[in-house]
Amino acid sequence: MDQVFVGTVVLPDRVIERGYVLVADGLVQKVGEGDPPSGEVHGGPDFLVLPGAIDSQVHSRSQADQEDFIWSTKSAASGGVTAIVDMPYDDGLLIADRERFEIKRKNAAEQSRVDFALYATIDPEDGTRHIDDLVAAGAAAFKFSTFGNHPKRFPRIPPHLMYACFEAIGKHDLMVGVHNEDDETVRAASEQVKQAGIDDYSAHSLSRPPIAEALATAQVFEIGAHTGCDAHIVHCSIDRGYRMAEAYRQQGYVSTIEACVHYLALNEEDDVRRLGGFGKVNPPIRKSDQTEALWRHLVAGNVTVVSTDHVSWSADRKEDPDIMKNAAGMPGLEALYPLVLKGLDQRGYDFTHAARVLAENPAKLFRLEGVKGALREGRDGDVVLARRDPYVYHAADSGANVVDWSAYEGMELPFRIDSAFLRGKAIMAEGEVLAEPGSGRFLVPGMTSS
């Protein structure tokens, strides 16, 4: 039977108050206003009808034997995220050649409950050697870092090699996303913090100052400008970074930039102070003036996408009293849509921004706009129903998360995700994840619904 979703339909450019979305054969057939067509009806006058979210930055395998796609995509389905893009830094395995990429794709296909795309990267010792093969295998984009956590686990790509990679990837019309912290600046600042004996919540932010982000961001955008390759910053916590991205776009370059949802929902002085290691991410969560600046950039169109940078570290990796000794990162897939809706609602901003930064723009970024990203005729019928129903978030309540901790634990969220549909099929309803492992589809750039 045809599926009909009724309520306030949220599109990237407008809201239809008495709207409907008709889905048949897994695809959107019509978006309209007024009396809906016949079919199995979902929603109602009090519901928001939203496009399925695409989370642009997920780490399903950062900790071995912990989460994997079996849990990350369960969290995704629970929160109305119908597609994820997974990062290439798996614990013990850098996804830097075709064999490793295809093994990961096969494993993910067996486990995923939502659709998925995959980033690839390089091993600095290999240079550009495997890029063409990784593109042929279906890489949605490439991820590099200006900072090196580990030479094999998370290596730094120096400027000359990054330039060569941008040239090689640009020939395939794919985007390059870069972790933007200047290596030398972070190491010098970290040593200063250590010598000063600072080990409370403020130590992390002091060790990775805003100038480290700004320097790395400038490097990435300049390399993009000189090579003609689309340059993307995968997470920016500072106002200056979004201004830089805007300036490069005004000069005619494709310079996109990503705000992780924790930069929009949390601040250093209140939340990191309270959370300690559980609030540690790279780059750090900044003070509230930066949080509000990022919201202003979002509604101005300077935030390309909002993601989670999701990683579900076991609690023992996050609870050391010395914040510097904890792993960086936090889970967020289940809370992504509710947090964005809350932030927009609190500030009186249109929900159209959620459709843009969580669906339309991510689809464009990874060249998936032929199938994903919009409630539009011919696109996949990925639909999310939400309603105003305030509740206090507890990560353990849904049973959809591999860990029971969250930086958003105890936060009141005004909108509840009621149900989610992937290509017209319910993957979550009334808080229960219905999608089985293996029901997700591998997404490749340029694919279409035909």
Tell me what pLDDT residue 40 has.
96
* Tokens, residue 404: 């029971």
Tell me what pLDDT residue 111 has.
98
Tell me what pLDDT residue 450 has.
65
Q: Distance between CA atoms of 407 and 245, rounded to whole angstroms? A: 28
* Tokens, residue 72: 């990350």
As to burial, measured by CB atoms within 10 angstroms (0-12 exposed, 13-18 middle, 19+ buried), residue 117 is: buried
Across 30-40, average pLDDT? 96
Asked if pLDDT for residue 139 goes beyond 80, the answer is yes
Q: Distance between CA atoms of 204 and 212, rounded to whole angstroms? A: 13
Across 194-223, average pLDDT? 97
Provide the percentage of residues in the chain whose pLDDT is more than 90: 97
- Axis crossing angle, helix 239-250 with helix 210-227, rounded to the nearest 10: 20
Across 58-65, average pLDDT? 96
* Half-sphere exposure at residue 308, Cβ-oriented, CA atoms within 13 angstroms: 31
SS3 391: strand
Asked if pLDDT for residue 368 goes beyond 80, the answer is yes
Asked if pLDDT for residue 4 goes beyond 80, the answer is yes
Q: Which has the minimum average pLDDT: 74-78, 151-155, 197-201, 297-301?
A: 151-155
- Axis crossing angle, helix 68-78 with helix 98-111, rounded to the nearest 10: 50
Write the secondary structure of 208-258 as one string of H (helix), E (strand) and C (coil): CCHHHHHHHHHHHHHHHHHHCCEEEECCCCCHHHHHHHHHHHHCCCCEEEE
Question: Could you give the dihedral angle defined by the CA atoms of residues 35, 41, 43 and 46, in that order, rounded to the nearest 10 degrees?
Answer: 30
* Tokens, residue 262: 């924790």
* Tokens, residue 41: 């009806």
SS3 350: coil
DSSP classification of residue 276: G
Rg of the chain taking only CA atoms, in angstroms? 21
Task: Tell which residue, 360, 372, 368, 369, has the closest CA to residue 140.
Answer: 368
As to burial, measured by CB atoms within 10 angstroms (0-12 exposed, 13-18 middle, 19+ buried), residue 41 is: middle
Task: Tell which residue, 60, 51, 12, 10, has the closest CA to residue 332.
Answer: 60
* Half-sphere exposure at residue 182, Cβ-oriented, CA atoms within 13 angstroms: 15
Q: Distance between CA atoms of 49 and 58, rounded to whole angstroms? A: 24
Domains of the chain: 3-49+378-433 (2.30.40.10), 52-365 (3.20.20.140)
Give the DSSP H/E element, type plus range, for residue 262: helix 261-265
- Asked if 158 and 165 touch (Cβ cutoff 8 Å), the reply is no
* Tokens, residue 259: 């705000």
Task: Tell which residue, 191, 195, 234, has the closest CA to residue 216.
Answer: 234
Across 388-396, average pLDDT? 98
Residue 342 binned pLDDT confidence (cut-offs 50, 70, 90)? very high
Tell me what pLDDT residue 386 has.
98
Strand partners for 5:
21, 42
Question: Could you give the dihedral angle defined by the CA atoms of residues 189, 193, 194 and 198, in that order, rounded to the nearest 10 degrees?
Answer: -160
Tell me what pLDDT residue 153 has.
82
Give me the chain's average pLDDT, please: 97
For the segment 312-335, what is each residue's pLDDT rounded down to a tens digit?
A: 999 999 999 999 999 999 999 999
Asked if pLDDT for residue 63 goes beyond 70, the answer is yes
Sign of CA dihedral 69, 71, 75, 77: positive
Provide the percentage of residues in the chain whose pLDDT is more than 70: 100
